[in-house]
Amino acid sequence: MPPESGYYNSKKTDDICEEMCGENSRSASSISRLKCLLRGFDLKALLFLFIGIPLLILFIYIHGQKITYFLRPLWDSPPKPFSTIPHYYHPNISAQNLCSLHGWKPRQSPRKVFDAVLFSNELDILQIRWKELSPYVDEFVILESNSTFTGQVKPLFFAENRKNFSFVDDRLTYGTVGGRFVKKENPFVEESYQRVALDQLIRIAGIQNDDVLIMSDVDEIPSGHTIDLLRWCDGIPDILHLQLKNYLYSFEFLLDDKSWRASVHKYRTGSTRYAHFRQSDILLADSGWHCSFCFRHISDFVFKMKAYSHVDRVRFGYFLNPVRIQEVICKGADLFDMFPEEYTFQDIIAKLGNIPKSKSAVYLPSYLLENAQKFRYLLPGSGNCRRDSG
């Protein structure tokens, strides 16, 4: 029963909060009030809100691209498998027999062969490529620009070093194209623009119907005997992709044999266009080498990382640190700290970690081995991974 006199409040109170924060408390302060207010929140929820979420955002910012590549099997499907043609070769077997082994017919005379490339700064690899192909190519076509794909001003490296390629001077069509230098443009737009210009240069070089045209980047090197086979045989596909062994940094780090973008075409006026994407479902097995980022100088690595179409992979400035780049090369690690570009979790997991070092220098471009001392940095062996600063 309520008292007969005085104020009565039936509302329940929290004695602790009343003691610390109440209106009549002489010890009340801003800190004690904050403690009192926080009593209504779960401590774990607060930690997640103020520490966990910011850390999660930072983790996604740093590793978001890696996470995307790791989860690729969930959001991307593998391309249609190639129909792979078995590749037969031995130096003691005649061209006639080799054609027959592939189901083709030998020709009375070989087709003319044109090798066409866009050039950036791969001077050593270009020399190895042209020496490998020189006995079989009738005309070398090379185009370079004063602009990188990312719109940076670039020296005309080939023009400055043309004297080193005098062995093809009498069958060389060289051209330049000015860059457009459009700021903040997708690098693939500039790349496509330069490939269209190369298409025009090929026609200027005098290519005719049924001539063989090699379309590949400088570092995608068809073996000489592969091109010799295709120029001597009738019945070859109109468009044929080449399976190349994939190397990274040098021929010491064999990644896989899945490089396929290089292609060979029987030229057709009005329909053949220079491109670097899939144009056929037919693949010729074991047809050469793809040596990516195979540079002599650290400065060349930095230049390409900032210049090529996948510049978005340079997520942080320290990726371009010369000391880091040298460590990555010798370990066989990834320059961009990315997961493997595969379509199944099994393949991704199988390729995690550094690329194992190969001890084999068997079946490599002959000019490379003939000049092993000059190109020591490209060969297997202790200490060969060290690069000049440039």
Residues 343-354 pLDDT 10s:
999 999 999 999
pLDDT at 32: 64
Q: Using an 8 Å Cβ cutoff, are 286 and 254 in contact?
A: no
d(C-alpha 12, C-alpha 5), whole Å: 20
Paired tokens of 322: 């010369």
Q: What was the pLDDT predicted at 9?
A: 47
Helices (H), the chain: 15-21, 30-38, 43-47, 53-70, 72-75, 95-101, 123-133, 157-160, 187-204, 224-232, 298-307, 322-331, 345-350, 366-370
Which of 69-78, 148-157, 286-295, 371-380 shows the lowest mean pLDDT across its residues? 69-78
Residues 309-358 pLDDT 10s: 888 889 899 999 999 999 999 999 999 999 898 999 999 999 999 999 99
Q: Please tell me the predicted confidence (pLDDT) of residue 6.
A: 47
Residue 55's pLDDT is 76
pLDDT in tens, 123-139: 999 999 999 999 999 99
In angstroms, the Cα distances linking 283 to 73, 116, 158, 180 are: 24, 20, 31, 35
Q: How far is it, in rounded angstroms, from Cα 220 to Cα 129?
A: 8
In order of 97, 149, 197, 215, 387, the CA distances from 144 in angstroms are 40, 11, 10, 15, 25
pLDDT band of residue 146 (cuts 50, 70, 90) is: very high
pLDDT top residue among 60 and 208: 208
Q: How confident is the model at residue 3 (pLDDT cuts 50, 70, 90)?
A: very low
Residues 6+ apart with CB under 8 A from 130: 115, 137, 140, 165, 167, 168
Residue 330 near residue 386 (C-beta atoms within 8 A): yes
Question: Model's pTM, two decimal places?
Answer: 0.84
Taking all residues of the chain, what is their mean pLDDT, rounded to a whole number?
90
Are 84 and 285 a contacting pair, CB within 8 Å? yes
CA dihedral sign, ordered 303, 307, 310, 312: positive
Identify the pLDDT of residue 68: 83
What average pLDDT does the segment 13-37 reach?
A: 53
